[in-house]
Structure 1
Amino acid sequence: MIPLAIFVATGVIGTQELKEINWSVLWMVAGGFALGVALKQTGLASLLVDSIPFSTFPSIAVILLASLVCWLLSTFISNTATAALMMPILAVIGGSMSEQLASLGGVQTLLMGLALSASLAMALPISTPPNALAYSTGLFKAKDMQKFGLIVAVLGFSIGYSVLIAFGVYVWQ
């Protein structure tokens, strides 16, 4: 908000441009960051991780399951909020599974998988701030976004995870 105040004070943007800003999208993104910080600072992320023995699961299963959960959440709430919510949790999970994840590129593969999954959720206007902005123009129907979003998700998962695992195995090891 400080840069915005400076822009207004120095005349970089005027009051008309200020009125046209989609504030609900900005607050949605800010809320996602606040939620992620709260999870980490309160210790809730560690508590959640300690309640499930993730180290007993195969590494690829943890990566794919976390990615699927992230994609589903990102479809119904902001991808930024989902990533901010899940990143601290998966960082703790990754730390507890560092030996198992090593063969797939380590914690980096788990966290990049989360980032990829959050970015692939595009089926609803709320899924991403750009979706919300595009939908607010009135030029798209939610039904159109759902079709496009599902196609993007299927192709993105197929290609993205092939590249992610290969990158993890050959670059991050």
Structure 2
Amino acid sequence: IELEIEGEVQHNWRTAVVAITFIITVLLWICDRWTGVGSNTVAMIPIVVFAFTGVIKARDLEEINWSVIWMVAGGFALGLALNESGLAENVIKSIPFGSWSPVIILLASGIICYILSNFISNTATAALLVPILAVVCKGMGDSLNSIGGTPTVLIGIAVAASVAMTLPISTPPNAIAHSTGLVEQKEMMKIGLTMGIIGLVLGYALLFVLGEMHVW
């Protein structure tokens, strides 16, 4: 692959504004536990700063691929709808987790998360399933100790959601890659499914070992 990038980096006041804003935004995201400012609110800071300082202008906004943004936002909307309507909770409760072995619960929750995450975005799926499974795990008590307890199941959700990338809607990087027109959806599905299976096997194998060792 040969890339030709024309132009050069300009060191001016705009560079300083972007650098400082970037650092402040990341620090606020990391320190939200102490500041009490939510990640959504923090995400507005760059928008406000860049708009008022003129770093981003109206023409820049016109060049944004809004269809990709709406596609990703649609995935979040589906996740919120499943949660707010109670459908997701009813589906989870209909599964007899209490009668299953801890290993089956770990694997089943990961598979459910992986399937959902391919259709309603990684972040939305994790935000949807983690609170529900936390309640389920709490109700199971000490029976999960053999696999490391509740943290193992919840970290498994994060792993499963992170490796789901078969569709453009699965995660913003996929959507951006698809928007270039250089990646077809069938190609993304084939490669994404392969990488997802490899990621699930490796991730859950490591997770199971660490859980057995009671690392957390």
C-alpha distance in 2 between matches for 1:24 and 1:100: 46
Q: Does 1:123 align with 2:166?
A: yes
- In structure 1, the residue matched to 2:38 is none
The CA deviation at 1:45 is: 6.8
TM superposition shift of 1:2: 2.6
State the structure with bigger RCO (CA 8 A, min sep 6), 1 or 2.
1
* 1:127 alignment partner AA: S
Identity of aligned residues (%): 45
**Does 2:48 match 1:2?**
no
Q: Which amino acid aligns with 1:16?
A: R
1:32 aligns to 2:76 (yes or no):
yes
Partner of 2:199: 156
Q: Larger deviation: 19-28 or 64-73?
A: 19-28
Q: How does 1:14-163 map to 2 (within 5 A)?
A: 14-23=57-66, 25-26=68-69, 28-29=72-73, 32=76, 35=79, 39=83, 52-163=95-206
C-alpha distance in 1, partners of 2:189/2:78?
28
Calculate the aligned-residue CA RMSD, in Å: 2.8
Q: Aligned in 2, Cα 1:50/1:78: closer, same or farther, shift over 3 Å?
A: closer
TM-score (norm 2): 0.67
Distance 2:91 2:135 in 1: 10
Distance 1:69 1:62, change over 3 A: same
Amino acid at match of 1:69: I
- Whole-Å Cα distance in 1 between the matches of residues 156 and 180 of structure 2? 31
Supply the AA of the counterpart residue of 1:82.
T
Using the TM superposition, name which of 122-131 and 10-19 deviates more: 10-19
Structure 1 residues 47-90: Cα deviation after superposition (integer angstroms, max 9, x where no partner): 66555542221111111111111111112221222112212111
Does the 8 A contact of 2:117 with 2:125 survive in 1?
yes
Alignment-mate amino acid for residue 172 of structure 1:
V
Contact 1:71/1:120 (8 A) holds in 2: yes
CA distance 1:38–1:103, shift in 2 (3 Å)? same
Shift of 1:16: 2.8
- Give how far 1:118 is off: 0.9
Shifted more, 47-56 versus 3-12: the winner is 47-56
Question: Distance in 2 between the 1:152 and 1:83 partners?
Answer: 19
